[in-house]
A and B are shown apart, each in its own frame.
Chain A
Amino acid sequence: MGILSKKDAALIKDPLFDNNPITIQVLGICSALAITAELKASIVMALSVLFVLGVGNVVISLMRNIIPSKIRIIVQLIVVASLVIIVDLVLKAFAYELSKTLSVFVGLIITNCIIMGRFEAFALGNGPWKSFLDGVGNALGYGVILVIVGFFRELLGSGTLLGFKVLGDPIEKTGLYAIGYENNGFMLLSPMALIVVGIIIWVQRSKNKTLIEEA
């Protein structure tokens, strides 16, 4: 990383694993669970959050000295809401079908706790460049979990990835289905998202014992 100093690189790297917004900071769970039945929706959601968080962090960081602390929440919400309206309109224009699948969850990016959490915890106290890196890092950490959950739910639930039938055709009994494999429709239902995230947390904490919570 030539252009990034060690500290700056850590801003991007930390949230990806050891300080992941979803599994460690417990932020932004709602959308992570509701839209991950398909990989494509997960990716679009991750990109939208990347845009909103990256740009929003910079904007808030630039304004941090002129926002009165009493009304900072409203100011932050207005900034996010404007960015989300942009995302929503772009999605409606270029990917209408997808924006129907995501339904209210695009709007709910506004209340995605990751965004407010990062504004409060980082952008209000740091310069624009660092805030940008922090925003990108956290959005990527969020995206990683989203993509992992989406991957497993779509693969096990409908036997497809991004719509491609990777496990063969369930109707014509090709591929894995020829030897009696069945899709687990249960994976498509929302409760399974919770359990998949629970398992991700389990794996992550077994690997890195320092993250284990005290009872």
Chain B
Amino acid sequence: MEYIELFFKSIFIDNMVFATFLGMCSYLAISKKVSTSVGMGAAVIFVLTVTVPLNWLLDQYILQEGALAWLGPEFAEYDLSFLSFIMFIATIATMVQLVEIIVEKFSPALYNSLGIFLPLIAVNCAILGGSLFMQSREIPSFGLAVTYGVGSGIGWFLAILAIAAIREKIRYSAVPPALRGLGITFIITGLMAIGFMSFGGMLTGGDEEKKDTKPEVEAKLELDKKKKEESAKIIAANNTINE
């Protein structure tokens, strides 16, 4: 059950593009045609599926505080987590180079159309973001890490596919000249993100954990609300005293 929950959560609620804005650069640059965006999306799914579990293993057995305990008791006190950026990115860069070689070998057409963006997948924030969120959300098991990787990959794929389809159609519309291309894509993505926010209600309903994972902004909004209510109470109390 928790696998299915995490799977759908990573696709819809914590969608890489619409909820956390990761991988926007390639999302905007590659989404002119549906066919190239499918290739890019597939590459992202593949790389995320491989790198998130790999980095999970790294995090569990090398980087975390006390993770080196399996080497012997004298290593138990080491905390290498400050190295996690460099370790994660090295894993990712290696994997991406591998994917690049494979794609160049088996699908030269795709290789040519992806152009500079295949090496840029290494710096696609969605990939590193996947690993960093995996770390900061403390995903407990290897299986869940795989699920999380696949799920967020599919979420990214879905997003780029949708925007590419919209951009192909929007060519026939009368967009103001200054908004053409990049501008309108930004605004459409904003509207899509608002749409995706409605998925946030999917997993609530007696779900206590939901509160912890709430985006900071929402939490802040709630805090503001609380403050407001409190001060309103104080003012009301003052008024009654005055009367």
Asked whether A103 lies within 8 Å of B136 as measured between CB atoms, the reply is yes
In-complex Cβ contact of B190 among A77, A81, A115, A198 (8 A): A198
Asked whether A191 lies within 8 Å of B191 as measured between CB atoms, the reply is yes
Asked whether A212 lies within 8 Å of B180 as measured between CB atoms, the reply is yes
Given A191-B190, A191-B193, A195-B190, A108–B184 Cβ distance below 8 Å?
no
**A 99-119 to B, binary, CB cutoff 8 A, 1 in contact else 0:** 001011001101111011100
Asked whether B21 lies within 8 Å of A112 as measured between CB atoms, the reply is no
**Interface residue count for A (Cβ, 8 Å)?**
59
Chain B residue at smallest Cβ distance from A215: B180
Asked whether A198 lies within 8 Å of B184 as measured between CB atoms, the reply is yes
Residues of chain A contacted by B204 (CB below 8 angstroms): none
In-complex Cβ contact of B183 among A116, A189, A202 (8 A): A202
**B 76-115 to A, binary, CB cutoff 8 A, 1 in contact else 0:** 0000001101100110011011000000000000000000
Measured CB to CB, the closest approach of chain B to A48, in angstroms, equals 13
Q: Per DSSP, are chain A's interface residues mostly helix, strand or loop, or mixed?
A: helix
In-complex Cβ contact of B21 among A23, A33, A71, A103 (8 A): A33
A20 to B223 Cα, complex, angstroms: 36
Chain B residue at smallest Cβ distance from A195: B190
**Interface residue count for B (Cβ, 8 Å)?**
66
Asked whether A212 lies within 8 Å of B89 as measured between CB atoms, the reply is no
In-complex Cβ contact of A81 among B24, B89, B221 (8 A): B89
Asked whether A205 lies within 8 Å of B187 as measured between CB atoms, the reply is no
Asked whether A85 lies within 8 Å of B125 as measured between CB atoms, the reply is no
Q: Is B158 an interface residue (CB 8 A)?
A: no
Residues of chain A contacted by B120 (CB below 8 angstroms): 113, 116-117
Residues of chain B contacted by A206 (CB below 8 angstroms): 178
User: Which A residues form the contact surface with B (CB < 8 A)?
Assistant: 23, 26-31, 33-34, 37, 71, 73-74, 77-78, 80-82, 84-85, 88-89, 101, 103-104, 107-108, 110-113, 115-117, 120, 158, 170-171, 185, 188-195, 197-199, 201-202, 205-206, 209, 212-215
Task: Given contact pairs A191-B191, A214-B180, enumerate 15 new A-B contacts (beta carbons under 8 Å).
Answer: A29-B21, A29-B28, A73-B96, A81-B90, A104-B132, A104-B136, A108-B128, A113-B120, A113-B125, A190-B193, A191-B18, A192-B190, A194-B187, A195-B191, A205-B178
